[in-house]
């Protein structure tokens, strides 16, 4: 796993966007895995800027979102359908039929989950999956004790996630209790993983992810099993990493490193 520490949120978002842009420049029909939450907002803003100012083209891109709340229809202001449209899709040129987001209102969740998994495979698999991380170490809505082999399915949110996400709803009781989420196993099949995290509140989860044991108690720690996972964090989120100097040394030395190192 590669850990890249940047001085602040803006720098973190920019580096993350550059990695996405490099992929699109080499593979214009790439399949992107998208994440919601406050953290990837800066990354999406930078991608929108690259699209508007530097002609970064999304016309052949396909996307798959990680998750959606159960019970919120696509127009609900807190649905992830709405979030993605507001913050990203309406600003770039991804054909609407190439956009895939789990349904929070299907009448048959198991069938929908199977279809979602098959659709990812039919599209050639995910080239790059963007990830945030919960304060409880979740990726997607794979809460602590989720199987590290899990596939797209329904999950019950943890109390900590409900508390964390209550800030977006009028009342805590309005936060959905269930979500549909890609599994950890689904996420690990993406060819590249790009996790972004910012702020002190994520410092413990990031230390556990990068340096802790692989455990379903911190599902992001499964990134250690992936051959091409990059974690980009700001100073605050990096503050509990014990090998921090080494990560900085690797990153500084990288341009001179032999190819493939």
What tokens does 167 get? Answer: 């800030």
Alpha-carbon gap, residue 106 to 73, rounded angstroms: 10
Nearest 10 degrees: Cα torsion 185, 82, 157, 39: 70
95 contact partners, CB below 8 Å, separation of at least 6: 59
Determine which residue in the list 133, 184, 195, 206 makes contact with ligand PGA, applying CB under 6 A: 133
Q: Is position 132 an interface residue for ligand PGA (rule: CB under 6 A)?
A: yes
Residue number closest to ligand PGA, CB atom: 37
246 contact partners, CB below 8 Å, separation of at least 6: none
Using the rule CB under 6 A, give the single segment among 45-53, 71-79, 85-93, 127-135 that binds ligand PGA. 127-135
State which residue, 53 or 167, has the beta carbon closest to ligand PGA. 167
- For the question of residue 76 being annotated catalytic, the response is no
Question: What are the C-alpha distances in Å from 166 to residues 159, 160, 169?
Answer: 10, 10, 5
Residues from 29 through 88 that contact ligand PGA (CB under 6 A): 37-39
- For the question of residue 138 being annotated catalytic, the response is yes
Q: Taking a C-beta distance cutoff of 8 angstroms, is the pair 37, 43 a contact?
A: no
Alpha-carbon gap, residue 152 to 185, rounded angstroms: 9
Determine which residue in the list 134, 137, 176, 183 makes contact with ligand PGA, applying CB under 6 A: 134
State which residue, 38 or 52, has the beta carbon closest to ligand PGA. 38
State which residue, 132 or 183, has the beta carbon closest to ligand PGA. 132
What tokens does 232 get? Answer: 């980009």
- For the question of residue 136 being annotated catalytic, the response is yes
The single-letter DSSP state of residue 232 is E
Q: Which residue in 46, 117, 127, 136 is the catalytic one?
A: 136
State which residue, 11 or 250, has the beta carbon closest to ligand PGA. 11
Binding site for ligand PGA (CB under 6 A): 37-39, 132-134
> Which residues are annotated as catalytic?
67, 136, 138, 143
């Amino acid at each position: 796993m590669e850990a890249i520490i940047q001085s602040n949120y803006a720098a973190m978002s920019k580096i993350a966007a550059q990695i996405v842009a490099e992929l699109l420049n080499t593979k214009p029909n790439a399949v992107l895995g998208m994440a919601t939450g406050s953290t990837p907002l800066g990354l999406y803003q930078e991608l929108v800027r690259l699209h508007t100012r530097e002609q970064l083209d999304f016309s052949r891109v396909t996307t798959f979102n990680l998750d959606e709340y159960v019970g919120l229809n696509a127009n609900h202001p807190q649905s992830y359908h709405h979030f993605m449209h507001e913050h990203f899709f309406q600003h770039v040129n991804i054909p609407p039929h190439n956009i895939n987001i789990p349904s929070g209102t299907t009448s048959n969740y198991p069938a929908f989950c199977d279809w979602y998994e098959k659709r990812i495979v039919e599209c050639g698999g995910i080239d790059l999956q963007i990830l945030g991380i919960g304060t409880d170490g979740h990726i997607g809505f794979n809460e602590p004790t989720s199987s590290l082999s899990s596939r797209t399915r329904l999950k019950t949110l943890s109390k900590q996630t409900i508390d964390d996400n209550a800030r977006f709803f009028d009342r805590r009781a309005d936060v959905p209790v269930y979500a549909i989420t890609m599994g950890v196993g689904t996420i690990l099949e993406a060819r590249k993983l790009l996790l972004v995290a910012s702020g002190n509140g994520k410092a413990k989860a990031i230390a556990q992810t990068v340096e802790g044991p692989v455990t379903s108690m911190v599902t992001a720690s499964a990134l250690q099993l992936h051959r091409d996972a990059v974690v980009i964090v700001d100073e605050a989120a990096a503050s509990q990493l014990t090998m921090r100097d080494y990560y900085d040394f690797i990153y500084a030395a990288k341009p001179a490193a032999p190819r493939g190192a």
